[in-house]
Chains A and B, each alone.
Chain A
Amino acid sequence: MPDSLPSDSVGLVSPQTIHFNAPIDLACGQSLENYDLVVETYGTLNADASNAILICHALSGHHHAAGYHSMEERKPGWWDSCIGPGKPIDTNRFFVVSLNNLGGCHGSTGPGSVNPSTGKLYGPDFPVITVADWVKSQARLADHLGIQQWAAVVGGSLGGMQALQWSLDFPERVRHAVVIASTPRLSAQNIAFNEVARQAITSDREFHEGRYYEHDVLPRRGLMLARMVGHITYLSDASMGEKFGRELREEAYKFGFDAEFQVESYLRYQGERFSESFDANTYLLMTRALDYFDPAYEHGGDLSKALAPAQCEYLVLSFSTDWRFSPERSEEMVNAMISARKKVSYAEIDAPWGHDAFLIPTPRYTDIFTAYMDRVAREVGA
């Protein structure tokens, strides 16, 4: 809890719920008759609506990207390090839009919402959502806000995939796409980790085929395990080593199977906390959206062909110790952009924190991000 709000914070913010009445057709063949999106905005939209930035969240993210909901809130929004006055995404210049995606569990329509056709919660009946579906729903949000073209669509990890998808599906509506710590498609290893997470959830006795709400229970154990295995892939061996090493919680081995090493208790704590705040069905949906993302698929695996319609400029950033979506995956994307004759800038940032590095402000990351966004601001007269 901050005693007073930091001067480079967007300050106290409150989310708003926007209701969409027109049905949306989804990639899976189903459609949603109507839906809600929960949104936060920071900064002011200028007269010609040219200074808008869309923030796309990653697997466990949501609309609360910056600032505080109250003076009692312990931590600011998840990307507060990069969004605010004088920060890379400078809210003195940009109008920033951040939403909770469809299928989410932070207020937007998802498995925990009421299915209008049954009057009960969707649960496992909520349709499987793709990155392209999200982009479509975000385009409607842009319409609603009166934004014809984003100055930039920005995202890390799964958020970066949405930025890339935007540039392909609505080329004329994106000036810049900033794709950070992302990949043009998941590898077999990435999908394998997702599958372990899903198995952990669905094999929990309290999962009840996804209808746990009806049984008044939560598959906490499964969700905790899913988060634990996921969390390992967000960190690097080196950063885990530095943070925990082989440190024990007590002085000697106890010759048992309780959490004796610090790293064990950290993972358990992270997992437990997550299992209390996140929805298991949403976790399944988000990991599937990751698995399915592959814009090159419809073009015989040729990403540069998939990129043909894009008109924006790209900034692609990777982190040296990210083994979940390694620099090589970003370079694959950059090379396809070069081949497709798109404008692209790329840097690999040296950072020890693995995949999580995209959330941590390091000097070079901040410098590059600031320089690029400053130039975007100048370009749109912000």
Chain B
Amino acid sequence: MRPDLEIIQQWVEPGHHVLDLGCGDGTLLDFLQRERGASGFGLEINPDHITTCMGRGVSVIEQNLDTQGLDNFDDGMFDVVLMTQALQAVRRPDKVIEEMLRVGREGIVTFPNFAHWRLRWGLALSGRMPESNALPYKWYNTPNIRLCTFKDFEALCRQKGIRIKSRRVVDGQHQNSWLARLWPNLLGEIAIYRITRENP
């Protein structure tokens, strides 16, 4: 199992009702259903992923976040709303985060850090848009249209009154190194945030 999913599953409790935005082939939801006794839905737009989900017994809805939002989900109907590596690909990440915390008590968000030293270094040296393992596209064909840094994301949360319950910063191999803990915005490649509007 992918190490980031390993971290996420620890935050989902048995019986939790979960919504996974951009659920891919349903690996995470399948694991949460079987191993953690969770229930829930995935939203996806990739036809092959949707078929795979259906074949493995993951409830999946073909729904585009950009055009359809989450209007069809009731307030607070989920315990956890997940979004792994998809925040940077939606048109309005700020709206999506608000919607996540409308339909769910807690959100778990992961995204690539655009302030990672290798990206900074690449841009500084070559003057070209950086590419990396986490961001393997060209500037003109990338689905990642809303890249941000950890600092950007945390500023957005502050501005919206969203509380960050915890944050794990990992490198490209999803290892949690002490260096990344020390200088996350420089040395962390991917962050896993646990956010809520509820008070501690």
Contact residues of A with B, CB < 8 Å? Answer: 313, 315, 331, 334-335, 338-339, 341, 343-348, 364, 367-368, 371-372, 374-375, 379
Q: Which residues of B contact A345 (CB under 8 A)?
A: 50, 53-54, 58-61
A364 to B46 CA separation, bound complex (whole angstroms): 12
A331 to B72 CA separation, bound complex (whole angstroms): 9
Is B74 part of the contact surface with A, judged by Cβ < 8 Å? yes
Interface residues of B, count at CB 8 A: 22
Closest approach, in angstroms, between the C-beta of B93 and any C-beta of chain A? 23
5 contacts between A and B (CB under 8 A): A341-B17, A344-B59, A346-B60, A368-B50, A371-B54
Interface pair A338/B55, CB less than 8 Å apart: no
Closest approach, in angstroms, between the C-beta of A276 and any C-beta of chain B? 41
Within 8 A of A (CB), among B57-85: 57-63, 72-74, 77
A339 to B70 CA separation, bound complex (whole angstroms): 12
Question: Contacts A345-B59, A347-B62 given; 8 further ones with Cβ under 8 A?
Answer: A343-B39, A345-B53, A345-B60, A345-B61, A368-B54, A372-B54, A374-B55, A375-B55
Known: A313-B59, A374-B55. A347 touches B74 (CB 8 A): no
Closest approach, in angstroms, between the C-beta of A66 and any C-beta of chain B? 23
Q: Which residues of A contact B153 (CB under 8 A)?
A: none
Main SS at interface, chain B: mixed
Question: Within the complex, which residue of B51, B63, B73 is in contact with A371, where a contact is CB–CB below 8 Å?
Answer: B51
Q: Which residues of B contact A364 (CB under 8 A)?
A: 47, 51
Is B91 part of the contact surface with A, judged by Cβ < 8 Å? no
Q: Which residues of B contact A315 (CB under 8 A)?
A: 54
Q: Which residues of A contact B53 (CB under 8 A)?
A: 345
Question: Within the complex, which residue of B52, B55, B59, B73 is in contact with A343, where a contact is CB–CB below 8 Å?
Answer: B59
Q: Which residues of B contact A331 (CB under 8 A)?
A: 72
Closest approach, in angstroms, between the C-beta of A365 and any C-beta of chain B? 10
Closest approach, in angstroms, between the C-beta of A141 and any C-beta of chain B? 28
Interface pair B59/A347, CB less than 8 Å apart: no
Closest approach, in angstroms, between the C-beta of B71 and any C-beta of chain A? 9
Interface pair B72/A338, CB less than 8 Å apart: yes
A313 to B53 CA separation, bound complex (whole angstroms): 14
Known: A338-B72, A368-B50, A368-B51. A346 touches B56 (CB 8 A): no
Q: Which residues of A contact B31 (CB under 8 A)?
A: none
Q: Which residues of B contact A344 (CB under 8 A)?
A: 41, 59, 61
Q: Which residues of B contact A334 (CB under 8 A)?
A: 61, 72
A344 to B61 CA separation, bound complex (whole angstroms): 8
Question: Within the complex, which residue of A341, A348, A371 is in contact with B55, where a contact is CB–CB below 8 Å?
Answer: A371
Chain B, Cβ-Cβ closest to A327: B62
Closest approach, in angstroms, between the C-beta of A135 and any C-beta of chain B? 24
Closest approach, in angstroms, between the C-beta of B6 and any C-beta of chain A? 25
Question: Within the complex, which residue of B54, B56, B61 is in contact with A338, where a contact is CB–CB below 8 Å?
Answer: B61
